[in-house]
Amino acid sequence: MAATIDEAMRFYSMKRWDSALQTFQSIDTSAFSTAEKTELAYYMGLCYTKLERYNDAVLYLEQVVTGEIEPLRVCQCRLTLAYIYMTTSRPRMAEFELTRLIKSGFKSVQIFTMMAYAAWMQKQQDRAVKMYEEALDIDPNNTTAMNGLGFLLVESGADVKRGFELCRKAVDKRPQNAAYLDSLGWAYYKTGDISEARQCLRRALDLAPRQKDISSHMKILLAEAS
């Protein structure tokens, strides 16, 4: 008996990505319309993304963004593609997808923070700062944008005081976020407060012991403090 969309979607709703994908793959699509095939590609692309099979995911998500489907779904697929490209160290391709979204009229904190990170990955610091500022214009309390902008301002020395305050505000809002604690620890280090820097970085490492950036910052701190 052929698998059905309802069966696949049941696995999908349960977050059983392998089972959902296998069921989607076994569906007979011979009588499907173009729209139905595009819908199937959409869910298969998301399953592959969840399973971190990124090359396969891109093949299916590209079918969606080039097909005739509702704009919001295209937006989600472009965001997912941008995430995949940044995860696989292809920031220029991520920026391409995000730029297409902005040109299509989609502007959100998520899009601008992702644009900022893609710019940072390409060492385009001024552009990254601009994108984080755009995000904060939309939502002044967004902690991702606060932390990203704060770290850049501190790291570059462009505005250490403002950068420090942004990092501290992000930690105040989400005190258990390892990345935010790392940024605040680095901000303390840059302002010469080694004791506070060590405390923040230790808390960050306790929360994310395998995070390479945090470990690197702690090594630098300990080397200079010894």
The answer to the question of residue 112 being in a domain is no
Structurally, how many domains does the chain consist of? 1
Q: Which two tokens stand for residue 213?
A: 């950036």
The answer to the question of residue 99 being in a domain is no
Which position has the token pair 């200079």? 224
What three-state secondary structure class fits 90?
coil
The answer to the question of residue 32 being in a domain is no
Element (H, E) at 56: helix 54-65
The answer to the question of residue 72 being in a domain is no
What three-state secondary structure class fits 53?
coil
Domain that holds residue 159: 139-226
* Helices marked H in 157-211: 160-173, 178-190, 194-207
Cα 190 from Cα 54, distance rounded (Å): 37
The answer to the question of residue 161 being in a domain is yes
Cα 98 from Cα 79, distance rounded (Å): 7
Summarised one tens digit per residue, pLDDT across range 134-178 is 999 999 999 999 999 999 999 999 999 999 999 999 999 999 999
Summarised one tens digit per residue, pLDDT across range 166-223 is 999 999 999 999 999 999 999 999 999 999 999 999 999 999 999 999 999 999 998 8
pTM above 0.75, yes or no: yes
The answer to the question of residue 197 being in a domain is yes
CATH number at residue 194: 1.25.40.10
